[in-house]
Structure 1
Amino acid sequence: MTIHNLSKTNSILNHFLHQIRDEDIQKDRMKFRRNIERIGEVLSYEMSKSLDFETRDFKTSLSPATFDEVSENIVICSILRAGIPLHNGVLNYFDEADSAFVSAFRKESSASEVDFEIVVEYLSTPSLEGKTLVLVDPMLATGLSMLNVLKALEKIGQPKSIHIMSVIGAQPGVSLIKNYLPASAHLWIGEIDGELNEKGYIIPGLGDAGDLAYGKKL
């Protein structure tokens, strides 16, 4: 798997990353969601450079002309619920793509929340056979949610290519996904932090992306 860590190059993306991490700024839910969406747009633009294009003809008001159009059939799959703002950002750029949705949540096995399993409960997707799968989840922490979702999607068809898209990841989760996916896969990510805490949350990370976007859950 090729890893594209966009924070390694200075760009406006780093401004958006700061705003979603800053505990004062992130209290504005609308701004938090919009920044996640904008990060999805930046990641999509960078990912588009790796896709296949096909030259097509069209007419302007003055003369015939040509343009290069993405020739891949894209399916954007987001992990609910935190993945929705990122999904919207990707869909803003690949507006003719199909969409898929999957729920994956932590099922705690102890009161300490240290021991947990990832449960995939809901899946709505078109066929992935021969498609370009873009799997989006803002936080790539332990990598277990992403791994279980990838395994669930294997029943839906064999994609032509796989792109993982995340806002912030931790090195353990990135390593887990890299070891699972083929060398031809790509990870497009805003920034990679070094570690996880005892509960499996990214440090420094930003907290619970789903709660910050939509409010705390029971």
Structure 2
Amino acid sequence: MTVPSNVHVSSHPLLQVKLSQLRSSSTNTKETRSLIHEISTILGVEAFASGWKATGTGKTDHTPLNLEYETQCIDPANIALVPILRSGLGMIDAISDLLPSPVPVYHLGLFRERFSFQPVEYYNNLPFHRPEPGSEVNKSAASVAVLLDPIIATGGTAEAAIQLLRDWGVQRVVLLSVLGAEDGVKRAATCWPEGVEVWIGAVDEGCNDKGMIVPGLGDIGDRLFVAVGK
């Protein structure tokens, strides 16, 4: 199995064990939510360690021993979290908790049409501020969008979300996902290769005729929100 160079598949042993537990049909909703949170935390640590670094702010503070030190910040600071509804909501708290300060959270509502598997947009709250005269820059856009979606199956939804973020004006998209199918991951990674990084827990071989990853995790949105059998 080969993936593009901008796809990073985790080899963390703790993540792999948790993913194995998540695959089980006996894992209940509470356990599913906890495992998604824990896997997302590991993915976030790996992604942030590679893509960003702490830099000095020039500001100082004092330790409990009254010793002065220079405070640090994350560069770039202009970050937004963008979960894809529904299942991306299960990853927000994990990634938010990792960041040293609050960042905006914007939502994209995309569902996959049942027969064509094509993405359909039904909600988008990315802010838009009209550019200054003579400029095409949307100043409301974040520099980096951390796109959250536990599953990349056919890749159509991820590709559509990336294009929406690119049109919004981001310079970089970091897509965090728990599990993907090989072709879908390739599709997401290559739709904007110079601007996208994919950090993923594991990659399965493919999808069945219903567009579900096999062996996969089932419908993770249903499992997170007790909607099985809808």
- Judge same fold: TM > 0.5, yes or no: yes
CA distance, structure 2, for counterparts of residue 141 and residue 33 of structure 1: 20
CA distance, structure 1, for counterparts of residue 127 and residue 97 of structure 2: 19
Counterpart residue number, 2:208: 197
Counterpart residue number, 2:18: 16
Counterpart residue number, 2:75: 71
TM superposition shift of 1:10: 4.1
The answer to whether the Cα contact below 8 Å between 1:2 and 1:184 also exists between their aligned partners in 2 is no
Structure 1 stretches of at least 4 aligned residues deviating more than 6 Å after TM superposition: none
RMSD: 1.8
Counterpart residue number, 1:104: 110
The answer to whether the Cα contact below 8 Å between 2:145 and 2:165 also exists between their aligned partners in 1 is no
- The answer to whether residue 43 in structure 2 is matched with residue 3 in structure 1 is no
- Determine which of 165, 170, 187 is the counterpart of 1:159: 170
Counterpart residue number, 1:182: 193
Counterpart residue number, 1:112: none
CA distance, structure 2, for counterparts of residue 202 and residue 108 of structure 1: 15
Counterpart residue number, 1:41: 41
Specify the SS of the correspondent of 2:118: strand
CA distance, structure 1, for counterparts of residue 15 and residue 166 of structure 2: 32
- Determine which of 58, 62, 69 is the counterpart of 1:59: 62
The answer to whether the Cα contact below 8 Å between 1:99 and 1:125 also exists between their aligned partners in 2 is no
C-alpha offsets along residues 134-162 of structure 1, whole Å, 9 cap, x if unaligned?
11100001000111122223332x21321
Matched positions, count: 208
- Determine which of 141, 144, 148 is the counterpart of 1:132: 144
CA distance, structure 2, for counterparts of residue 74 and residue 205 of structure 1: 30
- The answer to whether residue 91 in structure 2 is matched with residue 86 in structure 1 is yes
TM superposition shift of 1:186: 1.1
CA distance, structure 2, for counterparts of residue 116 and residue 125 of structure 1: 24
Specify the SS of the correspondent of 1:116: coil
CA distance, structure 2, for counterparts of residue 104 and residue 174 of structure 1: 17
The answer to whether the Cα contact below 8 Å between 2:204 and 2:214 also exists between their aligned partners in 1 is yes
CA distance, structure 2, for counterparts of residue 10 and residue 48 of structure 1: 15
Q: 1:74 is matched by which residue type in structure 2?
A: I
Counterpart residue number, 2:153: 141
Equivalent pairs: percent with the same residue?
Answer: 25
The answer to whether the Cα contact below 8 Å between 1:53 and 1:68 also exists between their aligned partners in 2 is yes
* TM-score, scaled relative to structure 2: 0.84
| Of 122-131 and 57-66, the range deviating more from structure 2 | 122-131
C-alpha offsets along residues 153-188 of structure 1, whole Å, 9 cap, x if unaligned?
3332x2132101100001010111122122352111
| Of 84-93 and 164-173, the range deviating more from structure 2 | 84-93
